[in-house]
């Protein structure tokens, strides 16, 4: 494909929007023609992030001024409750890649309960594909409308779905302990929560009540024959800016062993270029995934051989958001899946 795709980014001044700019500005098949913002028009991008160097020093424009007739694809790096209002205006006029939660869930009542928002176009929920390439790569080819998964779900679903699909782990009593850099909370996060003059802080929040639980449950249930999927979810905020680690404790089904998990992850790594399965003494840490689109997996022995411990790491801003969105875009456009992405 030699033709360049004209792209608009709405929400271009947030953490995820800025990552999209950095990735797409290096994409050989993309021309970014619109840098949108909700509240800060006529601002030089280099004044928002000095690391961004683009020709002609582009400025931001109000999101609402985008004319979809001049754009092939729009990336919506907007909060939940905002994206769906733009989708209402843009639907069927251009390709939509939404990074909010507005089109991830299949059930409108689940959305209302978890996001406390009225959805202006619930009839379009079924028109968006869930964009997790390691699981549904084939369905993303030629996809018109894509809902990019959340960061926590990405780190959890990549290792768990293959294990459930292959009947290796029990679908009950799964324990998920996740830790994220504070960028996951957005630019409005108060740094006083994690830093003071004396030390750094670290805390869990929304244990078993986090909004991403319904998304994780939905996708796990789609990929298992078991009638129930039961798990606990305990997320934490770290004083790191970027990075995410999910440590997952699972019960193996009768007759399954650690070797079956290894074989499953080996197969996944062979088929997916952004999966890095560590089987040596190499440490799985934030440095190994920061600023990449990779998901690093490692397993550890439990004292009980009928259980397994899995560690899954991603960069929450890239594989958990902007990078995954571009990965989905590449697949949908028939491009090299890794184009403009760092492994």
Catalytic residue annotation? 151
Distance of alpha carbon 157 from alpha carbon 101, whole angstroms:
16
Question: First vs last Cα of the chain: how many Å apart?
Answer: 22
Q: Which residues pair with 147 in a beta bridge?
A: 98, 130
How many whole angstroms separate alpha carbon 248 and alpha carbon 183?
Answer: 22
Burial class of residue 102 (count of CB atoms within 10 Å of its CB; 0-12, 13-18, 19+): buried
Instruction: Sheet with 5-10: list strands edge to edge.
Output: 61-62, 30-37, 5-10, 73-76, 95-98, 145-147, 129-130
Which letter does DSSP use for residue 253 in this model?
A: P
User: DSSP assignment, residue 266?
Assistant: H
Sequence-distant (≥ 6) Cβ neighbours of residue 108 within 8 angstroms: 119, 122, 125
């Amino acid at each position: 494909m030699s033709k360049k795709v004209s792209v608009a980014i709405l929400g271009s001044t947030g953490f995820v929007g800025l990552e999209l700019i950095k990735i797409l500005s290096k994409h050989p098949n993309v021309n970014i023609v619109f840098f949108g913002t909700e509240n800060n028009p006529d601002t030089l991008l280099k004044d928002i992030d000095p690391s961004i160097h683009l020709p002609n020093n582009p400025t931001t424009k109000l999101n609402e001024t985008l004319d979809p007739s001049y754009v092939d694809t729009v990336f919506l790096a907007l909060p939940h409750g905002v994206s769906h209002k733009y989708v209402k205006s843009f639907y069927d006029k251009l390709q939509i890649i939404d990074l909010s939660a507005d089109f991830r869930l299949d059930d409108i009542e689940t959305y209302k309960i978890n996001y406390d928002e009225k959805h202006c176009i619930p009839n379009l929920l079924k028109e968006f594909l869930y964009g997790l390439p390691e699981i549904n790569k084939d369905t993303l080819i030629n996809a018109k409308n894509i809902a990019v998964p959340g960061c926590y779900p990405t780190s959890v679903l990549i290792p768990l779905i293959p294990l459930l699909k292959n009947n290796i782990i029990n679908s009950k009593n799964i324990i998920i302990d996740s830790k994220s850099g504070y960028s996951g909370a957005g630019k409005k996060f108060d740094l006083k929560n994690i830093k003071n003059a004396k030390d750094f802080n670290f805390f869990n929040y929304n244990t078993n009540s986090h909004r991403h639980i319904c998304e994780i449950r939905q996708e796990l249930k789609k990929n298992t024959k078991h009638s129930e999927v039961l798990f606990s979810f305990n997320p934490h905020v770290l004083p790191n800016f970027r990075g995410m680690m999910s440590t997952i404790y699972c019960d193996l089904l009768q007759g399954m062993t650690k070797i079956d998990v290894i074989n499953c992850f080996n197969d996944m790594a062979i088929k997916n270029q952004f999966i890095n399965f560590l089987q040596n003494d190499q440490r799985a840490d934030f440095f190994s995934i920061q600023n990449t689109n990779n998901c690093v997996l490692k397993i550890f022995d439990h004292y009980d051989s009928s259980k397994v411990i899995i560690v899954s790491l991603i960069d929450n801003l890239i594989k958990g958001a902007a990078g995954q969105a571009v990965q989905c875009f590449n697949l949908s456009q028939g491009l090299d899946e890794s184009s403009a992405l760092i492994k």
